[in-house]
Homo-oligomer: A and B are copies of this chain.
Amino acid sequence: MKASVLFSGGKDSALAAVMLLRFFEVELVTCTFGAMDNWKKAQEAAQKMNMPFRLMKLDREILGQAVEMTLKDNFPSNAIKYIHQKALEKLAQESKIIADGVRRDDRTPVLSLGEIKSLEDKFNIHYIQPLSGYSRKTINILVEKLFKIKEYKSTDEIGAEYEFELRNQIKKKNIFPLEHTQTIILEIKEKSAKI
């Protein structure tokens, strides 16, 4: 049975994907609006993890809408949640089991239980959040066991997250919070993540 995991190349979505290997054939799915080629960093991370990778194109109108929301709110949280929801809806049309790297302590992008159930019912799918019962502190221990990662500031380097395409669209507005730390998988510490 196949499970499709929204994958940014970072530690959370990587860990979520590894957790599902116990039960499913997992594919890593990275989104792009086609405005940048930052998704290639996620592809490289997927290769390091030795797991199947797929690029999923999201409609540019979604990016336009997200830019408007960010400008209106003067903060990107709602816009990022909006993109995340649209990405899940697209993925739900392509796969019966979908997942992401949302953590217990995440503020954005977090769907409410009602939104989660609505997504599952509308598309008749299973939506799994493998990390939603884990704190950031616990996740750091598991990541340390599994991966060699690089941390970097989102202001210093471009990551594979779709927020970078959003960020790029509105970069002159200085709306994104500074000093947000991103991660990218450099290496998996074991020969196979499947153990």
Give the B-binding residues of A (Cβ under 8 A).
Answer: 1, 18-19, 22-23, 97, 102, 104, 113, 116-117, 120, 126-135, 137-138, 141-142, 145, 195
14 residue pairs of the A-B complex, CB under 8 angstroms, read: A18-B22, A22-B195, A23-B145, A104-B113, A104-B116, A104-B129, A117-B135, A120-B137, A126-B138, A127-B135, A129-B133, A130-B133, A131-B133, A195-B195
Chain B residues, Cβ within 8 Å of A135? 117, 120, 126-127
What is the oligomeric copy number?
2
CB-defined contacts of A128 to chain B, threshold 8 Å: 133-134, 138
A1 CA to B145 CA, complexed, in Å = 11
Measured CB to CB, the closest approach of chain B to A116, in angstroms, equals 8
Hey, which chain B residues are within 8 Å of A127, CB to CB? Answer: 135
Which residue in chain B gives the minimum CB-CB distance to A129?
Answer: B133
Q: Which 3 A-B pairs have the closest CB atoms?
A: A129-B133, A132-B133, A126-B138
The smallest C-beta distance from A63 to any residue of chain B, in angstroms, reads 27
